[in-house]
């Protein structure tokens, strides 16, 4: 886990390997096309009734358009429209409000006033067991506990094809503070009401709104106000989040260019979420309490202020921002920690993709738009980040980081596509990347290759090692590192791989011991089964599972089993007792065992490091025998190849209930232990063999 001091070291090292350009002014650039609109939104929240009363006065430069079209929630009622203070007829259906302009209005500025009311009552999850959707399907909800209105939910009129700025005033019962994008103009309480005012002077592609009884803390960092809006039980977290946010903003300002907004705020939501919006992040209270969030997710969300919320995504051409943000935040922190940490992180991306994404669920990167399940995350985040890593390997660090600075300077507040990124990288790298983008971004899939026909011959005092790289379809073109180990040293050579077979030849002075292709996992590739240890993710992506209930389970443990299955997202699952388990169904499915099975053969592929007893278990020679202890492990199927088995063994019903919903968060691990609900040990089983390796014996 990184600390704030690690961040400062990271910042210093970046200055060494990145040629920093002069920091430029980040004045907002408007879109080349579209209507200009200035909104003045006045909203009154009535939490007891889940109701919003709104008025939006919009100054619009019409530019010759005949019909104005607004997106507005279908839940809207009591709708009234005025144009230049005169009532106007309109058409409103399917969430679209259409307004015809008179001839003399089509080439002049007009003032459109829209009055409306709506009930927003999406059900809010209290303790969700599946977190694949960061918002849990909630788009708009108003309640005494808090309110959340997502951009795109239609809580205010969005003018289609417009470039908009906003002034927002939110009136709510006293003590309820509203937060949105832009600059705070204060929160004033009088006559039983609190009015929160915000101003957004840069174009945004939609506003979200969060309202709760916040405790506000602020810190000034140059021209940027860093703030926290936390609920009272978490107010003690403010100082650490303010300090870390300031450090991240300094880090990324040096790396990409000046921070584009006037504020950055960490805002607590009253239910679990993980969102990044222009100039703030919205996280659930339980998430903010996790000690690692400040060193991981916070940096990711702040990086989004440059990528996604600063430079906009052209979603019709694919969402590149999640892959890039993962690379410049989550991954880069690992890289600065150590080479091994970075290598392990890349390998995990490949494992995630190879485990979760099958041919039928795969899509090209330019088709990815948002994460909604583990498969989409493995494509948009993991493959996306790996693609940026490969671009960096091809161009070199100086051109890679310089291209991102160019992109930020030229595309700030503009919709940006993969093609725009390609142009920026080609300009800096002074080479065409068309073939690269065609095969890695505009085509689905991953490379898969192996070493073949390896021979070693000694001629004179020199050893010659030859062989072939064999690709499976579809074929890719890429530079591949070959590593040759001898008793004295490790040497590497880069070859250009293309087509079905590529020959290679290496030389060394000493007897070769081991040849490895892609030793550091620098190429995005589909791993072979032997390269993927059994893990939680393999169970989550299983095509079919039989969940076996041991005969000694009580009602509470059976409920915990149902929670576990739901949290893992198992779509094709069947619950059976051990007595009902049939050999035919056993062989054709993956197995999830709940409690120690009576048939010991079901555990015969359990790793030797694990011992399962009736009322205890051991892992790595550590005994667990307390009621609060829980074991979860994934291992090879006892009877079928290319199938897996898993065991969930809580030593009490209560510990099973507490842990069942947490296991899904540990997707990359093969085994887990928990004590009193907290993870106490975890790990990945070692990989012994790979088709990308060839080892020689020691005989002469």
Q: What is the CATH number of the domain that holds 479?
A: 2.60.40
> Mean pLDDT across the stretch 591-601?
94
Domain annotation covers residue 24: no
Q: How many CA atoms lie within 13 A of 170 on its CB side?
A: 35
Residue 262 DSSP class:
S
Of residues 16 and 467, more confidence is placed in 467
> Mean pLDDT across the stretch 553-568?
93
pLDDT for the residue 28: 31
Judge if 97 and 201 occupy the same domain: yes
Domain annotation covers residue 248: no
pLDDT for the residue 25: 29
Domain annotation covers residue 491: yes
Domain of 665 in residue numbering reads as 536-683
467 confidence band (pLDDT: 50, 70, 90): very high
33 confidence band (pLDDT: 50, 70, 90): very low
User: What CATH code is carried by the domain that includes residue 379?
Assistant: 1.10.390.10
pLDDT in tens, 255-277: 999 999 999 999 999 998 889 99
**pLDDT over threshold 90, residue 699:** no
Domain annotation covers residue 282: no
Of 505, 531, 557, which residue sits at a domain end?
531
Domain annotation covers residue 229: no
As a whole number of angstroms, the distance between CA 604 and CA 618 comes to: 16
Residue 456: CB atoms within 10 A of its CB come to: 18
> Mean pLDDT across the stretch 617-639?
96
pLDDT in tens, 136-181: 579 999 999 999 999 999 999 999 988 899 999 999 999 999 999 9
pLDDT in tens, 660-684: 999 998 999 999 999 999 999 999 9
**pLDDT over threshold 90, residue 641:** no
Q: CB-based burial of residue 451 (10 Å sphere; 0-12 exposed, 13-18 middle, 19+ buried)? A: buried
Judge if 502 and 540 occupy the same domain: no
User: What CATH code is carried by the domain that includes residue 572?
Assistant: 3.30.379
As a whole number of angstroms, the distance between CA 219 and CA 367 comes to: 40
Judge if 426 and 508 occupy the same domain: no
Judge if 431 and 460 occupy the same domain: no
Domain annotation covers residue 388: yes
As a whole number of angstroms, the distance between CA 350 and CA 243 comes to: 34
Judge if 464 and 431 occupy the same domain: no
pLDDT for the residue 32: 33
As a whole number of angstroms, the distance between CA 398 and CA 255 comes to: 11
Is it true that the peptide bond before 403 is cis, omega within 30 degrees of 0?
Answer: no
Domain annotation covers residue 131: yes
> Mean pLDDT across the stretch 572-588?
88
Judge if 207 and 71 occupy the same domain: yes
CA 476 vs CA 271, 435, 470, 473: distances in Å: 45, 9, 11, 8
The answer to whether the CB of 467 falls within 8 A of the CB of 506 is: no
User: What CATH code is carried by the domain that includes residue 154?
Assistant: 2.60.40.1730
pLDDT for the residue 136: 58
Domain annotation covers residue 410: yes
As a whole number of angstroms, the distance between CA 23 and CA 21 comes to: 6
Query: How much of the chain exceeds pLDDT 70, in percent?
Result: 93
Judge if 417 and 541 occupy the same domain: no
Q: Taking Cα atoms as reference points, which of 650, 669, 670 lies closest to residue 659?
A: 650
Judge if 424 and 474 occupy the same domain: no
Judge if 48 and 184 occupy the same domain: yes
Of 374, 405, 439, which residue sits at a domain end?
439
126 confidence band (pLDDT: 50, 70, 90): low
Judge if 506 and 651 occupy the same domain: no
pLDDT in tens, 49-86: 999 999 999 999 988 999 999 999 999 999 999 999 99
Q: How many domains does one find in the chain?
A: 4
Judge if 467 and 616 occupy the same domain: no
**pLDDT over threshold 70, residue 464:** yes
Beginning with the edge strand found earlier in the chain, give each strand of the sheet holding 91-93 in spatial order.
91-93, 96-100, 67-71, 158-159
Judge if 433 and 469 occupy the same domain: no
Of 531, 560, 587, which residue sits at a domain end?
531
Identify the sign of the CA torsion 378, 674, 288, 12: negative
**pLDDT over threshold 60, residue 11:** no
């Amino acid at each position: 886990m990184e600390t704030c001091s690690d961040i400062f070291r990271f910042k210093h090292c970046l200055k060494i390997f990145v040629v920093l350009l002069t920091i430029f002014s980040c004045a907002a650039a408007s879109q080349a096309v579209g209507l200009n609109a200035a909104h003045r939104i006045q909203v009154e929240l009535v939490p007891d009734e889940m109701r919003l009363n709104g008025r939006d006065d919009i100054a619009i430069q019409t530019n010759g358009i005949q019909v104005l079209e607004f997106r507005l929630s279908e839940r809207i009622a009591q709708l009234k429209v005025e144009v230049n203070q005169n009532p106007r007829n309109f058409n409103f259906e399917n969430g679209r409000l259409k307004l015809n302009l008179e001839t003399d209005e089509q080439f002049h500025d007009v003032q459109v006033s829209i009055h409306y009311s709506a009930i927003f009552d999406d059900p809010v999850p209290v303790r969700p067991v599946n977190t694949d959707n960061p918002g849990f399907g909630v788009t708009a909800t108003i309640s005494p506990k808090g309110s959340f209105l997502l951009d795109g939910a239609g809580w205010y009129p969005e003018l289609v094809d417009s470039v908009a700025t906003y002034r927002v005033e939110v009136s709510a019962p006293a003590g309820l503070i509203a937060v949105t994008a832009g600059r705070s103009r204060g929160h004033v309480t009088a006559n039983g009401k609190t009015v929160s005012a915000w101003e957004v002077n840069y174009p945004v592609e939609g506003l979200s709104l969060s309202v709760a009884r916040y405790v506000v803390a602020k810190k000034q960092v140059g021209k940027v106000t860093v703030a926290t809006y936390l609920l009272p039980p978490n107010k003690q977290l403010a100082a650490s989040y303010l300090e870390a946010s300031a450090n991240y903003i300094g880090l990324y300002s040096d790396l990409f260019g000046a921070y584009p907004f006037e504020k950055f705020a960490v805002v607590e939501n009253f239910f679990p979420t993980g969102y990044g919006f222009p100039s703030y992040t919205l996280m659930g209270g339980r998430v903010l309490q996790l000690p690692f969030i400040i060193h991981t997710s916070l940096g990711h969300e702040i990086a989004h202020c440059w990528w996604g919320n600063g430079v906009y995504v052209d979603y019709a051409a694919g969402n590149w921002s999640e892959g890039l943000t993962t690379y410049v935040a989550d991954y880069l922190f690992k890289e600065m920690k150590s080479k091994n940490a970075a290598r392990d992180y890349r390998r995990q991306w490949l494992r995630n993709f190879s485990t979760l994404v099958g041919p039928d669920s795969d899509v090209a990167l330019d088709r990815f738009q948002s994460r909604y399940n583990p498969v989409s995350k493995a494509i948009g985040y993991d493959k996306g980040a790996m693609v940026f890593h490969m671009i960096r390997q091809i161009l070199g660090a100086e051109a890679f980081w310089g291209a991102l600075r160019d992109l930020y300077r030229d595309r700030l507040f503009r919709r940006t596509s993969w093609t725009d990124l390609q142009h920026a990288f080609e300009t800096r790298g002074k080479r065409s990347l068309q073939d690269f983008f065609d095969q890695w971004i505009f085509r689905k899939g991953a490379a898969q290759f192996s070493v073949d026909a390896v021979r070693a011959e000694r001629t004179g005092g020199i050893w010659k090692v030859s062989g072939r790289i064999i690709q499976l379809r579809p074929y890719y073109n890429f530079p591949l590192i070959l590593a040759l180990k001898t008793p004295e040293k490790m040497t590497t050579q880069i070859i250009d791989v293309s087509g079905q077979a590529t020959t290679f030849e290496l030389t060394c002075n000493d007897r070769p011991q081991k040849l490895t292709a892609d030793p550091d996992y620098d190429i995005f590739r589909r791993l072979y089964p032997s390269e993927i240890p059994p893990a939680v993710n393999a169970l989550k992506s299983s095509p079919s599972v039989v969940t076996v209930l041991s005969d000694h389970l009580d009602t509470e443990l059976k409920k915990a089993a149902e929670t576990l299955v739901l949290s893992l997202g198992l779509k094709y699952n069947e619950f059976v007792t051990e007595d009902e388990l049939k050999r035919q169904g056993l062989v054709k499915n993956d197995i999830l065992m709940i409690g120690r099975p009576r048939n010991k053969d079901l555990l015969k592929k359990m790793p030797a490091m694990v011992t399962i007893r009736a009322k205890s278990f051991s892992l790595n020679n550590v005994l667990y025998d307390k009621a609060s202890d829980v074991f979860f492990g994934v291992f090879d199927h006892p009877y079928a190849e290319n199938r897996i088995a898993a065991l969930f063994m809580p030593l009490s019903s209560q510990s099973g209930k507490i842990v069942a919903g947490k296991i899904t968060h540990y997707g990359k691990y093969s085994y887990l232990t928990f004590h009193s609900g907290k993870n106490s040990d975890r790990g990945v089983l070692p990989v012994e063999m790979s088709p990308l390796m060839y080892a020689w014996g020691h005989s002469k």
